[in-house]
Structure 1
Amino acid sequence: MAIIHKATLSPTKLELIADYLPTQPWFIQDGEPEVIGAYRFDDPAGEVGIETHVVAAGERVYQIPLSYRGHELGGASEWLIGTMEHSVLGKRWVYDACGDPVYVKALATAILTGQKEAALLVDGETEPRRSTVTVKGSGTLDGGVPGLSASAPVSGSGVTIIDAGSLRLKVNRVVDVAADAAVNTAAAPELHAELALHGSWAGLDNPVELASVVRD
């Protein structure tokens, strides 16, 4: 379960994302970004916040995974989006999570084991809060994921490829909502990856593919 604090952030997450998007090869400037929703994964060690934002800009929908850390991540300066002041947790280093090994393992685990997004519990409240984006992996692996050793991700053509050692992951930076809205994944599974993470949010007819295991 992911614990969410009632806090003031400076700068805000959207401000960090808005500054970061124009620097990416898969982003096309077309209107101001607006957050559609977000989902989280758990860090078993409880040290890293893992939150993926689904953002609309013009006619396109983008997926931006972020990781929040209380200290700098060694060797990951290329993936540092910026820092923000959290009124409860203090200074936080915010990374493009595709370059964070904790996110890579969490994503692989969700895809391979059929895991869903983390439940959200706001600090001070007793009832879990529903995520604005729901996700589920298509795998059925029972147990831990294979050993992973994530290397530097490579981005281009609307996706980021992560070589995680024993497998390769593809994160869809540009979400093809129009294509998936017209196709039911159960009715036409051949159009979707065998092992993938699918997501839904308000206004979608069918789940969309957000990430998958790359088959060579």
Structure 2
Amino acid sequence: MKFAYSVKQKMKISVLLFCIMACTLLIRFLEDKSVKSMNESFVSMYNDRLIPATYLFYVAENAFLKKSLFERTLYGAEQAFDPAELRRELKRRNTSMDSLINKYEKTFLVKQEKDQLHELKKAIIATVEVEDKILMVAAEQGMEPARIIYNNERAKTSIETIKKLSGLMNIQKQVGEELIKDSAFMVSGSKLYSGLQVALAIVIGILIVGIVFTSNVVKISNDKFNLN
């Protein structure tokens, strides 16, 4: 009877230990998954948010430089106007902007970004068309008609381009904040898994002490039985 009882207790302890081991492995798996997700989140923050934000910054910089170039040309000394040189500089800036936008387009974009990027590209195309028109009028009719077109048309397309860039940057900020929230959630999950591991370690320690104590009690009882 005592032997059967002892085997039954050991079976219970074995099953409990097996369950604890399974829980430990599951927690380990979930923890590894959480760490992997955090790493992916940080990589995405860099590759899909930080780097693209620099692309947008340089697009805005080129747009501002083109605006300054036109203003210096249209409102500077007329005798210093060189249409060919201006065209070369504008082409260089436009090529740089196209390259940056192509790089930005290859990063991960949410639907809002895709829509806003489409609008930005339309605004840039409209700006380039007006710039070509201003150059043609300046070369054929002089500076005054070119200034009128600049004030009436080029200024509007420039403002539209800046608005679209600003909209993209705001979306970048919103998506970045969401990634930070997700990372914070995953960190809290990792802390929970660590706490569970500590709790399981304590349970295992208590079980081991219990097994050792039970074994000593059984041994003492057997020794007394043998002496009798």
Q: TM-score range by the shorter chain?
A: under 0.3
User: TM-score normalized by structure 2?
Assistant: 0.20
User: TM-score normalized by structure 1?
Assistant: 0.20
More strand by share: 1
Q: Which structure has the larger Rg over C-alpha atoms?
A: 2
Considering Cα pairs closer than 8 Å and 6+ residues apart, tell me whether 1 or 2 has the greater RCO.
2
More helix by share: 2
